[in-house]
Structure 1
Amino acid sequence: MYVDMQIAVCYIYCQIIYQAGDDKMKASDLMHERSMALADCNNFFVSCERRVDNDLDHCPVIVLSSNDGCVISRSNEVKKMGVKMGDPYFKIRSMLASNGVAVRSTNMSLYQEISAEVMSRIKLYTDAVEIYSIDESFFNIGISNVKDPVSYCRTIKKDIWDKCRIPVSIGIAPTKTLCKLATEYGKKNEETGGVFWMDRARYMDMGFMSQFECADIWGIGRKISTKLDKSGIKTAADFIKKDEMWVKKTFGIMSLYTSWELKGHQAYALDTGGRPPKSIMVSRSFGNPITTYEEMLDPLLCFTVSAAKQLRKARQTTGKMSVFISTSRFDAEKFYANGRETTFIRPVSLDADLMSSAEKMLKEIFIPGYKYKKCGVILSNFSDISAGRQAALFEEENGGDEKKLRVASAVDSINREFKQGIIKPAALFEAPEHEKKWAPRSEFKSGGESKKDSPLPDGLRFQNHSEDFAS
């Protein structure tokens, strides 16, 4: 009985301390409230285009996806026109022209180069950085000698602008989910100067949290938010108030983690170790339809080599490989899609092994007479070889394979040094004047890149943001 009373008293005391506010928190609690920050480049692709072309600084700009298909980045002026993320270009071409909107094709090599510059500036100000995407990174701000985190982040923001000429917004919070909301708030509210601290006084204020819709919360998205809306849960405040066991039972453990993060309890720590991927997919739509087997084999092998390079960089081998091909989904009368997969008894990572398997699978699924618009390669079932490769019980000496792997790693290093595939399998070489039929269209591509843009979809991924879908 006495022990139960002690527990009850401790619980009540903790609740009082928790609700007391910032002015009564301990130093460790204050450090927790600014344990991490998120730097997010504003309209990143558009900002990159403006950096290499100053004439774009004072006019509306959009950047189109691969093959100039749809809008993937918009300047603030274009957002005010009502253009939404993902709008097909052919539907809004006339409207954009009448409003003097500058149009640019994706220039991924340029974006990756500028992204590397931005990330290197951030690393100068902290001891831990998690590069989340091509235009976002979480970083540690819980540094004891940083007395004013907002002022410190404003210094980072100014340095990135001065050195890279890329505008960024920075959100400070105790969790990644709150950092995301803080960054979005900083973008949309000019009085923040692009830097906002989501401290306890704010994320415990349900009036403040009610301005964030569930669809805009990192980890929820539109599919779950639709179900939440049917239950009367429309905002972050509504979600926070719901019983945690109900959230877990109804939407799963990941939604429960989101609930914890919105309450200031960290569920996702900074990942600075560069954990290996669970799978690798390389795919792309073609600039022009492909009709013959030989034309289809070329991009499939290119994508296979690209996937293999990413696999070796992660120090992994694959036990399973899948390929797929398809015609345009808009061609309902002659639509065809198919795929095959194969498993490897002994996991592999060499180009030759994967290319041979890809060619065999393509022969099984390719049917002449169709106009193919897409193909892709997926690698999965990885085995880590960063600490060495374990041989099977009855396996012969694999010294030859080890030598081949070292040669492949050396080739990868040379290609990275020269920033293009100067050494590659013979099957991928073509005459200098030969233009790949499947290469993406880029009618509005800017100059300014320092290296040849590859048709291979390598590099950091691009994340869509909640404000990109706002009207």
Structure 2
Amino acid sequence: MFALVDCNNFYVSCERVFDASLQGKPVVVLSNNDGCIISRSQEAKDLGIKMGEPYFKRRRWLAEQGVRVFSSNYTLYGDMSGRVMEVLSNFTPELEVYSVDEAFLRLDGFLQQDLLTYSQTIQETIGRGLGIPVCVGIAPSKTLAKMANHLAKKKRQQSGGVWIISTEEEREQALKDVSIGDVWGVGRQYAARLQAAGVQTAWDLTQRSSDWVRQHLGGVVGVRLLKELQGKPCVQTALLQDKKSIACTRSFGKPVQDLTQLQEAVATYATRAAEKLRRQKSAAGAVTVFIHTSRFAPVEQYFRSITLELPVATDSTLELVQLAVDGVKKIFRPDIQYAKAGVILTELVPVQSIQADLFQVPTVVEHKGLMKAVDHINQTWGSGTVVLAAAGGQQEWQMLKGMRSRRFTTHWNDLLWVRC
């Protein structure tokens, strides 16, 4: 059996943990640069606010409706996500973090327990300890667990946020209650194609033969989905693995045309990527840098990228930043207003497996003490406490985030004050 634990309206829920006045009020959280709505409270959904709506089109209406609006606070959300996953790891030896707000739990050996009580204990533990509401779906396969979680949310008053599919009758009823477009792994185009062929629900799909599904739903992938819906697990739990590439990309708060500012941004992104690299104890053998204009601006469209390889893989911020700054200089054009830039670290290898150069000490060894000290300071006093001069000081290109809440759990100056 598999359980899928999904945090409800996660970004909004994180904001509500530290601001009780938001309870029961319509709340939305915006994407980078305050672009689109990416998280909505149930009250906001009830007002008809759609996911992905551009904020500038709805700004006045949202104010008139009394909707509280927040810029994205990924530092807070990432920390709260880590805490949720840490709690969930106490409930199973096999945990797969599927996204920032959901995870699969493998429940082999738990069949003797009352699964309803088990799920309610998860809800109570996370709710009491972190203040984040969650829904739990349990089923014999991961696709059915996703479906059970969908039903737990859709029928929350009836389910209490828990839905269990453990019998053939429960599986059949669940398949009939879920439209084909809401099945995990069925995209919009496939859903339209299946509906045109008379497949309206998940149950309808299970009534088709494997050959028919292979022909109409992506070959082997479609057959695997069919077996999952039949309660035969095909998608195994993928335990946490090191990433094959690490990226840091951001849109600018305003167009950037100056090379120095562009290099500051790229240096900042390379620094963030290097921190993630050291966190998983890896080293990078290549650095890719890209810059481009806005797709929506009435100007010449320009997109360029460059990949620079290292003779010896490294995790040193000093070397990775230097390479990124050199790379952006090679693809920079002075007559362009840039809207976004990014740094991607690839060809990752474990630090202990670096193929060293015969004639020089690898920077991963040479800079080890310095990088450890910098990481310790930034982890203790907050990200960005110690940075390279190449990252600049004013950083006028930073993303728009005028409505961002405080970083309550990761910055000393943002901690809550309690007066008694």
1:351 paired residue number: 317
Q: Distance in 2 between matches of 1:255 and 1:303?
A: 38
1:445 paired residue number: 404
Aligned-residue offset at 1:293: 0.3
Aligned-residue offset at 1:220: 2.4
**Residue type matched to 2:404 in 1?**
K
Find 1:261's aligned residue among 228, 237, 247.
Answer: 228
Task: Map residues 179-194 of structure 1 onto 2, 5 A cutoff.
Answer: 179-189=145-155, 190-194=157-161
Aligned-residue offset at 1:195: 0.5
**Residue type matched to 1:48 in 2?**
C
Partner deviation per Cα, 1:340-392 (whole Å, 9 max, x = no partner): 2233343333223322222222122211132211011122233334x533447
- Following TM superposition, the consecutive aligned residue runs of length 4 or more in structure 1 with deviations greater than 4 angstroms are none
Find 1:388's aligned residue among 337, 353, 356.
Answer: 353
- Does structure 1 retain, via aligned residues, the 8 Å contact 2:29–2:71? yes
Aligned-residue offset at 1:141: 2.9
Is it true that 1:174 corresponds to 2:140 in the alignment?
yes
Q: TM-score, normalised by structure 2?
A: 0.89
Is it true that 1:334 corresponds to 2:300 in the alignment?
yes
- Distance verdict in 2 for CA 1:316–1:215, change over 3 Å: farther
Query: Bigger radius of gyration, 1 or 2?
Result: 1
1:141 paired residue number: 107
Q: Distance in 1 between matches of 2:369 and 2:235?
A: 36
Q: Distance in 2 between matches of 1:424 and 1:452?
A: 16
- Does structure 2 retain, via aligned residues, the 8 Å contact 1:62–1:104? yes
Q: Distance in 2 between matches of 1:366 and 1:197?
A: 55
2:389 paired residue number: 426
Q: Distance in 1 between matches of 2:271 and 2:392?
A: 13
- Does structure 1 retain, via aligned residues, the 8 Å contact 2:147–2:174? no
Task: Please tell me the root mean square deviation across aligned C-alpha atoms, in Å.
Answer: 2.5
Deviates more, 1:159-168 or 1:237-246: 237-246
Q: Distance in 2 between matches of 1:95 and 1:400?
A: 54
- Distance verdict in 2 for CA 1:365–1:268, change over 3 Å: same
SS in 1 for 2:353: coil
Aligned-residue offset at 1:230: 4.3
- Distance verdict in 2 for CA 1:346–1:255, change over 3 Å: farther
- Distance verdict in 2 for CA 1:204–1:166, change over 3 Å: closer
- Does structure 2 retain, via aligned residues, the 8 Å contact 1:247–1:256? yes
Unaligned runs of 5+ in 1: 1-34, 454-471
SS in 2 for 1:447: coil
- Distance verdict in 2 for CA 1:257–1:278, change over 3 Å: farther
- Distance verdict in 2 for CA 1:318–1:203, change over 3 Å: farther
- Distance verdict in 2 for CA 1:348–1:233, change over 3 Å: farther
Aligned-residue offset at 1:216: 2.1
1:276 paired residue number: 242
**Residue type matched to 1:88 in 2?**
P
Aligned-residue offset at 1:209: 0.9
2:39 paired residue number: 73
Aligned-residue offset at 1:112: 2.3
**Residue type matched to 1:298 in 2?**
E
Find 1:195's aligned residue among 158, 162, 165.
Answer: 162
- Does structure 2 retain, via aligned residues, the 8 Å contact 1:52–1:448? no
Partner deviation per Cα, 1:129-179 (whole Å, 9 max, x = no partner): 222222112223334475211111112212221222211100111222111
**Residue type matched to 2:331 in 1?**
I
Q: Distance in 2 between matches of 1:246 and 1:408?
A: 56
Deviates more, 1:244-253 or 1:150-159: 244-253
- Does structure 2 retain, via aligned residues, the 8 Å contact 1:203–1:262? no
Q: Distance in 1 between matches of 2:271 and 2:105?
A: 33
Deviates more, 1:420-429 or 1:172-181: 420-429
Find 2:4's aligned residue among 12, 27, 38.
Answer: 38
Q: TM-score, normalised by structure 1?
A: 0.80
- Does structure 2 retain, via aligned residues, the 8 Å contact 1:209–1:237? yes
SS in 1 for 2:80: helix
Deviates more, 1:36-45 or 1:261-270: 261-270
Aligned-residue offset at 1:264: 1.5
Task: Map residues 22-61 of structure 1 onto 2, 5 A cutoff.
Answer: 35-61=1-27
Partner deviation per Cα, 1:195-245 (whole Å, 9 max, x = no partner): 11022425641x541332333222222243344344443432233333334
SS in 1 for 2:348: strand
- Distance verdict in 2 for CA 1:144–1:211, change over 3 Å: closer
Q: Distance in 2 between matches of 1:75 and 1:204?
A: 30
Q: Distance in 2 between matches of 1:109 and 1:362?
A: 27
Task: Map residues 22-421 of structure 1 onto 2, 5 A cutoff.
Answer: 35-144=1-110, 146-189=112-155, 190-202=157-169, 204-205=171-172, 208-248=174-214, 251-272=218-239, 274-385=240-351, 387-391=352-356, 395-396=358-359, 398=361, 401-405=364-368, 407-421=370-384
- Does structure 2 retain, via aligned residues, the 8 Å contact 1:233–1:239? yes
Deviates more, 1:280-289 or 1:226-235: 226-235
SS in 2 for 1:210: helix
- Does structure 1 retain, via aligned residues, the 8 Å contact 2:79–2:410? no
Deviates more, 1:292-301 or 1:220-229: 220-229
- Distance verdict in 2 for CA 1:145–1:314, change over 3 Å: same
Partner deviation per Cα, 1:373-421 (whole Å, 9 max, x = no partner): 1011122233334x533447xx346466423345434533443344423
Query: Paired residues, what number?
Result: 410
